Amino acid sequence: MAAASPSVFLLMINGQVESAQFPEYDDLYCKYCFVYGQDWAPMAGLEEGISQIASKSQNVQRALVWNFPIDVTFKSTNPYGWPQIVLSVYGPDVFGNDVVRGYGAVHVPFSPGRYKKTIPMFVPESTSTLQKFTSWFMGRRPEYTDPKVVAQSEGREVTRVRSQGFATLIFNVVTKDLRKLGYDTGPAGTQNILGPSLPQSNLQ
Amino acid sequence: MNPNEEKVKIITEEFTENDEDAQVRRQKKKSRAQRQQRKKQPRTPGPEEMVSENCHVGPPLEPGEEKPDTHLLSTTARRGPRSLPPVPSTSRTGFAEFSMRERMREKLQAARSKAESALLQEIPTPRPRRLRSPSERESETEFGTEPSKEIQGTQQEDDLKSYTRVKFHDSVRKLKSKSQAPPGFPSAEEAYNFFIFNFDPGPEEQEEKPTVICRDGANQEEEEGEEEGPAQTGDETGEEGLLDGKDAEDFLLGLDPTAHNFVTVRAAEYESTHIRLQKEKEVLFVPSRLTVPTYKKLPENVQPRFLEDEGLYIGARPEVARNNQNIMENRLLMQESGRKWFGDDGRVLALPSPIKPSPSRPPQFTQELSNKAELETLYKKATKYIHRHQHMIGSGDPPGNFQLDIDISGLIFTHHPCFSREHVLASKLAQLYDQYLARHQRNKAKFLTDKLQALRNAVQTGLNPEKSHHSLDTTQTNINEYKSEIRQTRKLRDAEQEKDRTLLKNIIKVWKEMKSLREFQRFTNTPLKLVLRKEKVDQKADEEAYEAEIQAEINELLEEHAEEYAQKMEEYKTSHQQWKAWKKAQRAKKKKNKQAAEENPDEEGGEPFPEEEPVKPIPPEPTDTAIIEQQVRERAVHSRRRPGEPKLVPELTLAGNTTPNEQCPRVEVLRREDVKRRSVYLKVLFNNKEVSRTVSRQLGADFRVHFGQIFNLQIFNWPESLTLQVYETVGHSSTTLLAEVFLPIPETTLVTGRAPIEEVEFSSSQHVTLDHEGVGSGVPFSFEADGSNQLILMTSGKVSHSVAWAIGENGIPLIPPLSQQNIGFRSALKRADAISSIGTSGLTDMKKLAKWAAESKLDPNDPNNAPLMQLISIATSGESYIPNFFRIEQLQQEFNFVSDEELSRSKRFRLLSLRSQEVPEFRNYKQIPIYDREIMEKVFQDYEKRLRDRNVIETKDHLDAHRATVAKYLQQVRESVVNRFLIAKHHFLLTDLVAEEEVPNISSEGSGILGLSLFKLAEQKRPLKPRRKGRKKVTAQNLSDGDIKLLVNIIRAYDIPVRKPIVSKFQQPSRSSRTFREPHAASPSAHSPAHSADYPLSQVLVRPFVEVSFQRTICHTTTAEGPNPSWNEELELPFRAPNEDYSTASLQSVKDDVYINIFDEVLYDVLEDDRERGSGIHTRIERHWLGCVKIPFSTIYFQTRIDGTFKIDIPPVLLGYSKEHNMIMERGFDYARSLSEGSYITLFITIEPQLVPAEPVREKFDSQEDEKLLQATEKFQAECALKFPHRQCLTTVIDISGKTVFITRYLKPLNPPPELLNVYPNNSQATTELVARYVSLIPFLPDSVSFAGICDLWSTSDQFLDLLAGDEEEHAVLLCNYFLSLGKKAWLVMGNAIPEGPTAYVLSREKNHYLIWNPCSGHCYGQYDTFCPLKTVGCLIGPDNIWFNIQEHDSPLRINFDVTKPKLWKSFFSRSLPYPGLSSVQPEELIYQRTDKAAVAELQDRIEKILKEKIMDWRPRHLTRWNRYCTSTLRHFLPLLESSQGDDVEDEHRAELLKQLGDYRFSGFPLHMPYSEVKPLIEAVYSTGVHNIDVPNVEFALAVYIHPYPKNVLSVWIYVASLIRNR
């Protein structure tokens, strides 16, 4: 039936926004969302989420640990527009205003498996020193109009950014029917293991 | 004191109290859980905690538990399976110190062990597994390393920590000894000790090698093995206490929580310094400072080896103090395998010192400027980049490689205004002399003489052989040729000689004149001096030669003449013969004629001589030798030097003296001074661009200027023209252009060094008259005293220059190849010398090129020719194929994953590519299926249809061919604009991506004020008087359906038409159809209590409600009462964007309108039986459409909110309703309102959330306007914007081709259609209104819809009339032009109106007042009309000027329209900038075609049919009956309406209708619209809701009338009515 000739493939992602390193800032929370192409549609799980506020740990690493779970399943007909996770981190500044502390994005890994991704986080810079001062003073730092901008290449040439820190994510990726539809994303060695023949032999 | 340690002690004493098994059990379980938890705890706490924790709980427990287990198993192997023998208890019974505590413990132990064994049996699998599991082992090893870490840590930590550690060790040792003394007697302390012992393997060992452990953590494995030993021993020693320990541990854990409640106080422990030092000695290691003997550092029996002594190089070791070195060596030796640190010579291994003794960086001498040698700056030439240009040389060529050298050596004036008379003569003389010199150099006369001589000789020699061979014709012909040549040469020679002579004569003459002039004026101006040198000649020889020459000439002439004579005689003879023959014939003829004349004399006169009478030939005269001789001599005298006369050789020298200034008359001095003030320079123009100029040189007294400058022009363009401009400067004043000299572009072969100096003459047409001795230029002057013999001389001169191509470093001329021949091979052939010299002729043909190369013997070894040779070899070998094209992406094919055909065949790929091209149909297509088979064919249908229809004109929607073409055209324009916009959309600005605070600005208003925003920090969170804050704007990116809502707030309405009381005699008052409300009409209503109180009792109320329909969603308010209702309700309508595309481009082009319809709710009592009236109410609600207000969505979108009072569009005829004119007029408000007729509604409309309208694309359009004018417009606008930033100021607009045009060019009197003028020939007022109506009938189409994203485009009036669509500006321009042509004073008003926003109106001046015209509706308003939709006036535009409103107010009510007052109106053209007389962009006159009446009639029928069908469609559940009779009545009535424009026909119409349809209750109204498409008509009919009546016996009537106006402007009337038959 449907299993014999699938018309979509599925991509299941779970994992977590594990931790982040923002040497200068504390008490941050993060927001994640997915950016994907027109041929993609979320099937289950949450596309977006906002984590708790995490303070820095007391040890040497001074990591902010969120351990914020991600669990989402997409279906798609086309690998074009493969989902990207966009992470934006916010936190209070000196005056207690909530300001953005970093944007970052990474593609969800293509092949099944467990991945640990560390992505650099950055924020747009003020256009002038005066604005930098006032934005610091007023607590209204420059922000992207839409965090999803960081997942696209268009229009980025007009922005200047400053690096802020790193965030570490863990992905567990499972795909279904991707190979049946002719897309081979796995590493070369896994061809025999992950092929569709395996479940069949089990059944027999 | 460590609290934890205390705890332990407390717990040990606690056992007495806690003696209940159950409790223990419970707690044990709890403790397990705790242990499990603890196991997970990371071992990261500080060393201090670690130590204390190790004492009783925490991670160390676990291995303790495990290890006993392992041993347990091993012991059971000896003792028996699985039984846990209560060994300790047996041994304990005999013990002397038997206490209660011990007993208790025994009991507990027994129970505990039992349970333990039971547990073990119950879960046999986990245990062994745990034992085996590597993780456990790991934990074991981890644990093993723990103490070492501690020790290491303690060593590094401060005293306190080491102290605790020491203490710990101490206790350990104590306990150990104790346990050994009484074996088999475990206690709590022992158990504790056991564990400690177990975990802390051999302190001595530890002390020995702490550094090793700390260095390499990788050695853990080994250590683990070592630690196993002590652990084993510990077990052996405490075998007995094993179980006790475990149990005790359980207790300890179990009781742990309760232990917190107890506190015991003990004395502080003290250790003496001595002991402590001793202990420290065990732990600490202090390396010795003594020198280590060499043998210790080397392996046994190895002698130290000194490499240096063996002759090998060893670098200098870094300096280390001796004792430090010793310490290090000692330390190293303590380590295991410490010897590896030592080299063969017994010293610590070291690299040679990396520090250089001397600095390698060159010293910097900043102060010493003299020492510049190292820091010399190198000059590098700036390299130019190639810019795109039509004459650009192939991009492969290196730019700037070409050079043209222009050498300007000097300038000589042959005439100049400052020439004195003498100068004129002198220059003449100089010219003549130059001529003479030139002639002399060529010496043509001499050459010709020689030639003549040679020819004569040839003839002589030719003649001689002739005598011997008479028969040779060839020699004869040769001789003849020679002879003729002799003749010619002689003539030439004579001419030359004569010229020479005259020239000489002239020279002498001019010189004489000059001499006389000098004498006359008594001063000399020029140094010219002519010397005539006489060359003596030999008199005799000369005479002889002269004579011989003459003789030879005479002979020749004689010969010639003889020949000629012979020839002529010959001719004479023949002609004479002819003549004779003719004579004869004539005579015969005459005879005949005579006879004929006798016969009939009439004919005689009429017959002319048929032939001309040949002249009788005259026999040639033989030549006379004497005459010829005389002629020859005369000529010779004239042209030749006389024999014996000395040869005169003129020599012009500059040796003469000029008279010094003092001796000259004043005029001459003036002249000389004037000359001195003048200076000349040249500009060099290359391709009409000035590239360089010479230095300015003073004009010399001899009017020569020497420049001697060479200009090297580095060029990359092929020179097209090369011009020199001669400029003259007088003093410090102005510079005048004297003349332009065009230089020829040199041949490609002409290179620097070979080019001769050439002179190019120039002349100027300037007229100069001077007041001194200078003769001027272009003015007549004379040498004679009496002023006769006038001369006019123009300034002229010569520039001596040379132009040549420069030669590059390697001898290649720097000549650009001709740009016209662009051939792909050039890049391969560039720099090849040969190419430029052969031009490009050979390049196209390889064979020719090869041939050429072979012929020109190119050196194949010359590297310059290498590319050429290679090319030729390829070409001639014929092996390799040279394609005649160049492929840009050679590897593209490899990257194509499917072929193009497959790509186009596959539906999926096609869909994908169309989507990525953002084709509107597919722009937002989601989830393109993965297989072709799943894609429906119909997906493409719409798209393909659109493509197909692009050129096919679809008449279905338009019913009118002309409009269809126009619509198509507009569609195409729109598509191209949209495409441009799509491209522009991908260009982001920073503000599109980054939301940033504005630059704070103290002076400007707005949110960005620094000062104010600082105050904001301090302001109250909830102020008492809150100020309105701007709503947050939403960029339309992530919106979806349902996110956007249209909020319509309907506040109130005024002057709604009211129902007429039914007083008509035709209308029988019937019981069943009386209005339900009638009885209550007089009763005061909650909604309008004030009004109803005032109404007379007979007044019939109206119950209006408002219905808003947008995108087929309908919302309505509650029903209010009275003609001035107040609703105050907010309606919310959802907004759907087309194709779910919420981009700004898409939103802008939404063409939907918001219809606000006002209805009257009429309740009819339909109770059939009067008897039921008491028990039930049966009413039917009917609603009657009263009018509507239509607001385009685009207006709302751009205005973001619409707030105001609008005139309700009420049909001209509303049957059964009338406007209440006899309203009570007490209140001023009513008074003001009643000035204007009509009903009004107050509305507030906005979009929620607020959308950001797209910024118009700010492009700088090119323009054909004068640059100065454009600058003036910018200045004007900037000035206006500074004063009144919110007032509209328009100076330039963009025409339909995208060019900036000055706005006044649009205004020009244009003739209205003559038909309109003829309607009311005498009534100008009516004509004006008719014209306005005509303009308003042209459909309105906002630019934002048609040209989304692009600013306003203004079309001219003829374009507007052709397109039959335009927005306010076009309407206004046309109306204004008509008014101008009608002789009115009219202006375009730019301002803000509601609901349009920024718009254009027309202002016209009547006799004593101003009228404001809305061009789109055709209505006019007085200046003081409160309901005038125009709210602000920005500027007025007339045909010749623009006036900006600089009055305080901008409302038309409060301003003065007198533009002549400069204080009120700032005009664009003023005295400082006069109106330059700009030509209009409008056509001369508008031509109006008559509209085809037949087509209109057909259209009328079709519209009627379509509308009827639509009404039937809208009533799917009811039968729609058409009353044909009524329809025809209506149809007759509509033309009447058109002719009266909907005024004052209501009464007759009603009467007529009632007469004919007496027994019908009729409700209906005519709608009037300009015609553009069918869709708006349908929408309008739909919005009236006529079809909503569901009375069963309802009948409908619908009539359409189209009135044609010229130029296809159609006025559509639709009369819809519903009829209900009265019973």
- The reply to whether residue A38 touches residue B925, judged by beta carbons under 8 angstroms, is yes
Nearest to A124 among B44, B925, B994 (CB): B994
Helix runs in B256-290, H state only: 273-283
CA distance to partner chain A, nearest, from residue B1486 (Å) = 49
For range B620-624, the mean pLDDT:
68
Ranking B143-152, B438-447, B1470-1479, B1522-1531 by mean pLDDT, the lowest is B143-152
**Model confidence at B270: pLDDT above 70:** yes
Predicted local distance difference test score (pLDDT) of residue B364: 62
- Kindly tell me the burial class for residue B160, based on how many C-beta atoms sit within 10 Å of its own C-beta (0-12, 13-18, 19 or more): exposed
Nearest CA in chain A to B1013: A138
- Residue B1111 CA to residue B547 CA, distance in Å, equals 121
Identity of the residue in B930, B994, B1013 whose CB atom sits nearest the CB atom of A7: B930
Cβ–Cβ gap B997/A80 under 8 Å: no
CB contact (8 A) between residue A159 and residue B930? no
pLDDT score for B142:
43
Which residues fall within 8 angstroms of residue B974, CB to CB, at 6 or more apart?
Answer: B1149, B1346, B1347, B1348
CA atoms of B297 and B339, how far apart (whole Å): 6
More confident residue, B1115 or B809: B1115
Tell me which chain A residue has its CA closest to the CA of residue B1037. A146
Q: Choosing among B43, B987, B988, B996, which should be mutated to test the A contact, i.e. which has the most A CBs within 10 A?
A: B996
Tell me the C-alpha to C-alpha distance, in Å, between residue A49 and each of A18, A45, A46, A87, B501.
14, 10, 7, 10, 113
Of B307, B285, B286, B303, the C-alpha closest to B294 is: B303
Q: Cβ of B951 under 8 Å from any chain A Cβ?
A: no
What pLDDT, on the 0 to 100 scale, is given for residue B409?
A: 83
- Contact between A38 and B986 using a beta-carbon 8 Å cutoff: no
Does residue B366 register a pLDDT over 50? yes
Q: Cβ B993–A7 below 8 Å, yes or no? A: no
pLDDT band at A83 (very low <50, low <70, confident <90, very high): very high
pLDDT tens, B1287-1310? 878 888 877 666 778 888 888 888
pLDDT value at residue B84: 45
Cβ separation A39–B997 shorter than 8 A: no
If you average pLDDT over residues B721-734, what whole number do you get?
A: 79
Cα torsion through B288, B291, B293, B297, rounded to 10: 70
B748-768 mean pLDDT: 76
Which residues from chain B sit within 8 angstroms of residue A158, using beta carbons?
Answer: 988-990, 992-993
> What's the mean pLDDT in B835-850?
48
* CA–CA distance, B1073 with B1115 (Å, rounded to integer): 28
For residue A31, name the pLDDT band (cuts at 50, 70, 90): very high
Mean pLDDT of B403-428: 80
Query: Choosing among B993, B1002, B1144, which should be mutated to test the A contact, i.e. which has the most A CBs within 10 A?
Result: B993
Q: How far is B834 from chain A (nearest CA, A)?
A: 48
Q: With 90 as the cut, is the pLDDT of residue B1122 above it?
A: no
pLDDT over 70 (residue B428):
yes
Helices (H), B1439-1573: 1493-1514, 1524-1540, 1546-1556
Question: Chains A, B: CB contacts under 8 A, how many?
Answer: 88
B988/A contact by beta carbon, under 8 A: yes
- Which residues of chain B have a CB within 8 Å of the CB of A144? 993-995
Looking at residue B236, what is its pLDDT?
A: 43
Q: Does A79 touch chain B (CB under 8 A)?
A: no
The pLDDT confidence band at residue B164, using thresholds 50, 70 and 90, is very low
Residues of A in contact with B1037 (CB under 8 A): 145-146
**Tokens 């930098």 sit at which residue?**
A132
CA distance B1407 to B721: 64
Q: Which pTM does this prediction carry?
A: 0.45
SS (H, E, C) B1413-1445: ECCCCCCEEECCCCCCCEEEEEEEECCCCEEEE
B1517 DSSP 8-state letter? T
Model pLDDT, residue B106: 67
CA nearest to B935 within chain A: A7
- Higher pLDDT among residues A52 and B304, named by residue: A52
Three-state secondary structure string covering B1226-1265: CCHHHHHHHCCCCCEEEEEEEEECEECCCCCCCCCCCECC
Asked if residues A167 and A119 have their Cβ atoms less than 8 Å apart, the reply is yes
Distance of CA B1320 to the CA centre of its chain: 54
Residue in chain B closest to A9 (alpha carbons) equals B930
Q: Å from A155 to nearest chain B CA?
A: 5
Say whether pLDDT at B133 is over 60: no
Chain B residue whose CA is closest to A180: B930
Chain B hits for A146, CB-CB cut-off 8 Å, are 1035, 1037-1038
Mean pLDDT of chain B, nearest integer = 70
The C-alpha of B906 sits at a distance from chain A's nearest C-alpha, in angstroms, of: 15
Check residues B1609 and B750 and name the one with the higher pLDDT.
B1609
Q: How far apart are CA B1378 and CA A2, in angstroms?
A: 72
Between A27-41, B220-234, B557-571, B1311-1325, the lowest mean confidence (pLDDT) is in B220-234
Single-letter code of the amino acid located at B427: S
Chain B hits for A7, CB-CB cut-off 8 Å, are: 929-931, 934
Task: Return the pLDDT at B1367.
Answer: 77
DSSP at B118: H
Q: Among all residues of chain A, which has the CA nearest to that of B928?
A: A39
Q: Taking CA atoms, what residue in A is nearest to B1034?
A: A145
| CB-based contact, B929 to chain A, within 8 Å | yes
Contact A38 B930 (CB under 8 A): no
Mean pLDDT of the region B850-868: 62
Asked if pLDDT for residue B288 goes beyond 70, the answer is yes
Q: Determine the Cα–Cα distance for residues B1342 and B1398; give it in Å rounded to an integer.
A: 12
* Yes or no, beta carbons of B995 and A143 under 8 Å apart: yes
pLDDT one-digit tens code per residue, B1143-1186: 666 776 677 788 888 888 888 777 666 676 677 777 778 788 88
Q: Does A37 touch chain B (CB under 8 A)?
A: no
Question: Would you state the structure tokens that stand for residue B1400, as one six-digit string?
Answer: 């254009």
At residue B735, what are phi and psi to the nearest 5 degrees? Answer: -105, 130
Q: pLDDT tens, B176-220? A: 444 444 455 556 665 565 555 544 444 444 444 444 444 444 444
Q: Give me the pLDDT at residue A101, please.
A: 93
pLDDT over 90 (residue B1133): no
Q: What is the pLDDT of residue B475?
A: 67
CB–CB contact B931 A7 (8 Å): yes
* pLDDT at site B241: 44
What residues of A are in contact with residue B930 (Cβ under 8 Å)?
Answer: 7-9, 77-78, 181
Q: Which chain B residues are within 8 Å of A59, Cβ to Cβ? A: 44
Q: Which of B21-35, B975-989, B1397-1411 has the highest mean pLDDT?
A: B1397-1411
Between positions 992 and 1011 of B, the ones with CB within 8 A of A are: 992-997, 999-1000, 1010
- The structure tokens listed for B798 are 């010569």
| Nearest CB to A155 within list B926, B992, B1035 | B992
Q: What is the mean pLDDT of residues B709-714?
A: 80
CB contact at 8 A, B803 and B744: yes
> Which chain B residues have a beta carbon less than 8 Å from that of A145?
992-995, 1035, 1037
Q: Are B1106 and B1183 in contact (CB under 8 A)?
A: no
Under an 8 A CB cutoff, do B928 and A138 touch?
Answer: no
pLDDT at B1090 over 60: no
CB neighbourhood size of B955 (10 A): 12
Contact call for B993 and A128, based on CB within 8 A: no
Determine which of B930, B988, B1141 to mutate to test the interface with A (most A C-beta atoms within 10 Å). Answer: B930
If you ran DSSP here, which 8-state letter would residue B1351 be given?
-
Lowest mean pLDDT among B33-47, B652-666, B744-758, B783-797: B33-47
Q: Which two tokens stand for residue B735?
A: 């510079």
pLDDT over 60 at B688, yes or no: yes
Task: State the nearest Cα–Cα gap between B1137 and chain A, in angstroms.
Answer: 18
Interface test with B, best of A47, A78, A94, A144 (most B CBs within 10 A): A78
The pLDDT value recorded for residue A29 is 94
> Of A137, A134, A156, A136, whose CA–CA distance to A145 is shortest?
A156
Collapsed DSSP state (helix, strand, coil) of residue B1604? strand
H or E element in which residue B417 lies: none
User: Which amino acid would we find at residue B399?
Assistant: P
Q: Which two tokens stand for residue B217?
A: 């953590």
pLDDT digits (tens, 9 = 90+) for B949-959: 766 655 555 55
Chain B: closest CA distance from residue A52 (Å): 23
DSSP E strand boundaries for B1269-1357: 1292-1295, 1300-1302, 1353-1354
Q: What is the pLDDT of residues B1189-1204, one digit of tens each?
A: 888 787 788 777 788 8
- Which of B1021, B1014, B1107, B1103 is closest to B1057 using CA atoms? B1103
Question: Rounded to an integer, what is the distance from CA B1259 to the centroid of its chain?
Answer: 8
Question: Residue B871's pLDDT is what?
Answer: 63
Range A6-30 average pLDDT = 91
Q: Looking at the partner chain, which of A38, A76, A145 has a beta carbon nearest the beta carbon of B993?
A: A145
Residue B281 has pLDDT above 80, yes or no: yes
Chain A residues with CB-CB distance to B928 below 8 A = 38-39, 77-78
Q: What is the pLDDT of residues B1495-1511, one digit of tens each?
A: 888 888 888 888 888 88
Contact B1484, B1359 (CB under 8 A): no
Vertex B857, ends B854 and B858: CA angle to 5°? 100
Indicate whether this complex's ipTM tops 0.90. no
* CA proximity to B279, closest of B122, B403, B159: B159
* Confidence bin at A122 (pLDDT 50/70/90): very high
Q: How far apart are CA B321 and CA B285, in angstroms?
A: 21
> Residue B849's pLDDT band (boundaries 50, 70, 90)?
low
Phi first, then psi, for residue A138 (nearest 5°) are -85, -10
User: Which pLDDT band, with edges at 50, 70 and 90, does B136 fall under?
Assistant: very low
3 state SS of B1623: coil
